[in-house]
Amino acid sequence: MNIRRATEADEAVLRELWEEFEAEVPEPFGEPEPWKDEWADTRRDIAAGTVLIAEDDEGAVGVARAEAPRRGSVHVQLVHVRPRGRRHGGAKALLAEIAKEARERGASRLTLEVLTSNAPARAVWQRLGFQEVSLFLAAGLGALAARLGEAGGAATFGSIHVQTDDRDRVERETAKYRPRLAGPGAWRVDGPRNGWVSVHDELLERDPKLLQRLAKELSNAVGSVVVGFSVEEEAAVGYSIYDRGSSVDDYLSVPELHGPLPPGDVVSLEANPRVVQRLTGADPAAVRSVARTAASPAELPPARELVAQIAALMGIDGADRGYAG
C-alpha cells in the first residue's frame, strides 16, 4: 500500500471517497454537508494541513485529512478506508503518516471526533490510545423548548382508564400493585363513566413509564382493556392500550420529541385506528384524523386539547386533567 499527499487535481477521487464515508456514517441530524463546503475545507488542508490518499494495486483505497497544527494539537477530520483495504493496516498507515508529520511540525497530540453510535470506530480509536476528553451533545428543539418551560410551567401528567364498571375491583388492584412502583402518595379512582373507571395518581403521573407499568398490571389483573394516557410537559400526547396485560397499540403525537429515531420507530408510534376501534369502539376515520403525529408540538393542537379529543373518541373522560386537575 502506497501513501501519498493529495493535490487539488485529486478532487474527483477525494469526493468519491468522502461520499462513501458520508453514506456509511451519515450525519445523525440536520442536513448533510454539500461537497462544495467539504471541498473548500479540503483545499485549505491540502495547502496548510495534511491530506493523504492510500493506494493499492486497484487504485485509491483510503483517505485521511487533518488540519494544520494549532496550540500543539492536530485535529483529524477524516479517516476512511474502503472495505477491501480494511484489516490490512490501511487506517493505521494513514494515521501513522499524519502523526509523523504532526510531530515534525511541533504538535504533541492528535484529536478527532467520532459518533457515539459508531461502535466499531470507537473501539478502533480506543485501542490506539485515544481517550474521551469532552462530549458533543444535541437536543431536539421541541423537547428542549418543553424542558425549558417555554410553555409557561409546562406540566407532565397522565391517567389510566380501565374498561369496566367494577370500581371496587379497580381500587383493590390499584392498592395492590401501586406500592411496587412508587412510595407514599395520593391517588384516586373515579367512575365508572361510560363504561370506564379512571385512576389518577399524584406521583406516577409525573413518570409516563411508571404510569404505563401500572396500566399494564391493571389490565392483566382485571382482565380488561386499559388505556394509559400521558401528556409530556404540555408538548406531546401519548397513549398505550393493553388488552388482558398485553400491549396492543402505542401512540406518541411527537415521536421524536426526545431526539431522532429510526424511521421504523417513528412509524410504530402512529395510532392504529383499527385496533382502537376494536377495543374501544372509536370510529377509525376519526382516530386517523385526530390522533396525528408531527415533527413538532407546534404542528398540532395544544396537548391538553389533543388528549381530550383522542380520549373522547374512545368514550373516556378526564384524560386532560392530572391528579390535581
pLDDT value, residue 115? 86
Q: Which of 285, 287, 280, 279 is nearest to 310 (CA)?
A: 287
Return d(Cα 56, Cα 85) in angstroms, integer: 8
Mean pLDDT of 137-158: 64
Neighbouring-strand partners of residue 156: none
pLDDT in tens, 281-293: 999 999 999 999 9
Residue 145 has pLDDT above 60, yes or no: no
Model confidence, pTM: 0.56
Q: Which of 318, 236, 323, 313 is nearest to 280 (CA)?
A: 313
Three-state secondary-structure class, residue 51 = strand
Mean pLDDT of 246-265: 90
Query: What is the DSSP code (8-state) at residue 31?
Result: P
Residues in the chain: 325
Strand arrangement, sheet containing 59-66 = 2-5, 50-56, 59-66, 73-81, 109-112
Helix (H) or strand (E) holding 236: strand 236-243
pLDDT tier, 63 (very low <50, low <70, confident <90, very high otherwise) = very high
pLDDT tier, 32 (very low <50, low <70, confident <90, very high otherwise) = confident
Residue 28 has pLDDT above 80, yes or no: no
Q: Which of 162-171, 184-193, 227-236 shows the highest mean pLDDT?
A: 162-171
* Cβ atoms of 254 and 297 closer than 8 Å: yes
pLDDT tier, 218 (very low <50, low <70, confident <90, very high otherwise) = very high
pLDDT value, residue 143? 54
pLDDT value, residue 151? 47
Helix (H) or strand (E) holding 74: strand 73-81
pLDDT value, residue 29? 64
pLDDT value, residue 142? 53
Least confident among 72-86, 135-149, 233-247, 265-279: 135-149
Residue 93 has pLDDT above 50, yes or no: yes
Grid cell at residue 154: 409546562
- The long-range contacts involving 281-284, CB below 8 angstroms and separated by at least 24 positions, are 281/314, 281/315, 282/313, 282/314, 282/315, 283/313
pLDDT tier, 144 (very low <50, low <70, confident <90, very high otherwise) = low
Least confident among 32-41, 158-167, 304-313: 32-41
In which region does residue 16 sit, left (phi positive, over 0), alpha (psi from -120 to 50) or beta (all else)? alpha
Neighbouring-strand partners of residue 239: 229, 251
Q: Work out whether the CA dihedral 80, 81, 83, 86 comes out positive or negative.
A: negative
Q: Work out whether the CA dihedral 176, 177, 178, 180 comes out positive or negative.
A: positive
Cell match 395520593: residue? Answer: 186
Query: Which is more confident, 168 or 151?
Result: 168
Q: Which of 76, 122, 126 is nearest to 97 (CA)?
A: 76
Mean pLDDT of 137-155: 60
pLDDT in tens, 99-125: 999 999 999 999 999 888 788 888 889
Q: Which residues, including other chains, have CB under 8 Å from residue 221's CB and lie 6 or more apart?
A: 173, 176, 177
Return d(Cα 151, Cα 232) in angstroms, integer: 12
Residue 154 has pLDDT above 70, yes or no: no
First and final CA of the chain: distance in angstroms?
Answer: 71
Query: Which is more confident, 28 or 50?
Result: 50
Three-state secondary-structure class, residue 180 = helix
Q: What does residue 115 show for φ and ψ, rounded to 5 degrees?
A: -65, 140
